[in-house]
Amino acid sequence: MENKPLLSICIPTYNRAGILEVTLKRIVNQIAELENKDLVSLFISDNASTDNTREIVQRFVNPDIHIEYHCNERNLGPDRNFLKCFQAVRGKYVWLLSDDDPVSRGAIPYLLNIIKEDDYGLIHFVMDSSQKSGFEVYSNVNVFLASVSYWITFISANVFQSEDVSKVNVNDKLLHSYLMQIPFFIESAIAHDKSVMIYDKMLEEPLYNTNGGYNFFKVFVDNQFNLWHQFVRKGSITHKCFEEVKKNTCRKYIKFHIAELLILRRQLYFYFYILKAIWLSVKRINKRILRILFKGK
């Protein structure tokens, strides 16, 4: 394509050919209905799949639609594959879309109509139940990010500007966080005067559900909060915004996973975190008691 696309949809994938086929079909069908198909490019980053992923992608090759397929020589892990997507992007905006998150009917033209109108940093799709519809433009980055909160971890619900990719310091710690996307999303929201919250349904129920084999608390508590706190230390977002994110994560997200981790999955690290939390609480109480006792002498 001669002209730079307005939107690049990037799909990292690994051994999910059947699921990827469903997701690609929805995307390609919506692009095919666009009057100007050059507005959208599609990039698939295959993390060295051993199934028929390449064959599935080839079925969707169309001279009128820009589809690029890349297969890594070896499995780089999820975060490095996300980075491959960011580095290969051609459009002004990047939509990092999980291969198991099918887009809702009309979502792509709807998104294009919004980003055509103005320059936005981060476009976020509200995924929890909401009585609102349409979209809302935010000019206060702290209010916006506090509203996005822990949903910043959901790759498919966030679209950001590709020009902000180079602003993120990608180090080994970030590439092992399972949340490599967070700094890119936050950086883009900070770098621009306006961001957008979309309340209309943009994604359907996921086709596949797994926790990816990682330690839930390590990723969504330790790693997530550390990534947010980097922006607090730099003065890019306020401490109040960060506290709101932590509060929402604990009250609205983590508590709904505790029963599943404890009863259904029986994951041992859950018990470890519970014991660790109790131990730290006991230590804090002991310190306070000792401080009171010595202060009284």
| pLDDT value of position 114 | 97
Residues 248-294 pLDDT 10s: 998 888 776 665 555 555 455 555 555 665 666 666 666 766 666 66
Mean pLDDT of 147-161: 97
Residues 167-217 pLDDT 10s: 999 999 999 999 999 999 999 999 999 999 999 999 998 887 665 667 778
| pLDDT value of position 218 | 87
| pLDDT value of position 263 | 52
| pLDDT value of position 279 | 66
| pLDDT value of position 48 | 96
Residue partners of 152: CB distance under 8 A and separation at least 6: 145, 158, 182, 185, 186, 245
End-to-end CA, the chain: 79
What does the alpha-carbon distance between residue 30 and residue 201 come to, in Å, rounded to a whole number?
15
| pLDDT value of position 1 | 44
What does the alpha-carbon distance between residue 284 and residue 64 come to, in Å, rounded to a whole number?
64
| pLDDT value of position 175 | 94
| pLDDT value of position 207 | 83
Residues 107-137 pLDDT 10s: 999 999 999 999 999 999 999 877 789 999 9
Residues 259, 261, 264, 268: is their CA dihedral positive or negative?
A: negative
DSSP state string for 129-193? --S--SEEEE--HHHHHHHHGGGGG-GGGEEEEGGGGGGS---TTGGGSS-THHHHHHHHHHHSS
Structural contact between residues 45 and 54, judged by C-beta atoms closer than 8 angstroms:
no
| pLDDT value of position 176 | 92
